Structure 1
């Protein structure tokens, strides 16, 4: 009974009327200002920023009350540094009308510094010291790291590496790359493991011997017609032999005598090594 009396009381209906008025006022003010808040009816053609430099982009967008943000930057040899090559949203065109509201952001992709590539010199054909090699590489704009390796020839460049991969003369690397020079220690006479050259061709054996600081005395037992044949000949005997002579160590700078011919087949385990060495004979 009290609840029913309250519903029909003057106090209740006065509060109901006041609540309705308050809701109407809030709704009216919200709707009347919504257009201003959302810039309803105001639209700007999306400008074409492609091909502009960053300072030109800023000047263009200030007058339009628009902002920009660099979303990405990429290397390119075809465009200058700082040029806009992509944008989102796309520019307004007759074929593709596109509009944006004031104070919105356009996302752009620009060109960052261009990669400059330099050719790696040939340090292996002729004997080159680490100091000369280091100077030449630094003059080309490379960073240089040095690694010493047991070898009979002191300071001789034995190889180059980039990111733990063998570098060959003529390869191109970005300027500023870190190139590692591997050079000889000059520790003539220091013991190293004696390789088993049998089953290798002469080309691979010479590379292996040069890498670890051994000399090879090569005897051919076939009719060798040209340089190609001499490289293709496969080693079938050596002295000292780690198996027959029970000798596993040999001094750096020592001579190993090898016998090779064209009738002995190349051991299949060296096929991949041949490919990896870019075997051209």
Structure 2
């Protein structure tokens, strides 16, 4: 009987061929099951993962051992600069903190440069303080102290300084450098009114315009034809506290002339300004 079965289903028969194919298929399926569900999960730690720790803001000297303790590797693949962190501090990591990765995964790090890159100091002179803030921020520079000086324009930049020394536009400085600004106060500071009594109109213009004052109405007292008129009254009075940009009214007449209230008839001597 055994001989007959073996003879009936040997390799030379169709039935024997089917049996061999079935055996081979079973072996292949079994090998795949063992490989994918036993061997492969074991060598790849299937179902096991590590939560990536947060190393941003940490010194590089501490990151190496820290990642090794978490069964992770690292690679410094980029550098950048931030004035907010010390040199050789981790600025960015990939994958991000909290991500799930396999054991021994490489974490790519961006590190803060030791020496910051340089930029050109922008030209802020004669620009507004608001504009200066925006330009400095765009240039990755910092605005420092504001020094007020006398000037007719409010919050207009007159000078730029670094650590007390004047700096010109175009000078290369490290990113994050602090730029102090000298700004005009728009006349908020008071100053004593110059004494122009007894001066001619042309001579009076020198101290008045030099103090950034504005000459207002000019009133002639009496007949000055053929004579050399001088300032016989001024408003504000000499030594009175005034501000930059204030208006000064002047009365001119012959030296020694007196002024009465009913004689102050305004007469615009615009031709004397020329």
TM-score by length of structure 2 reads: 0.38
TM-score by length of structure 1 reads: 0.37
Larger Cα-atom Rg: 2
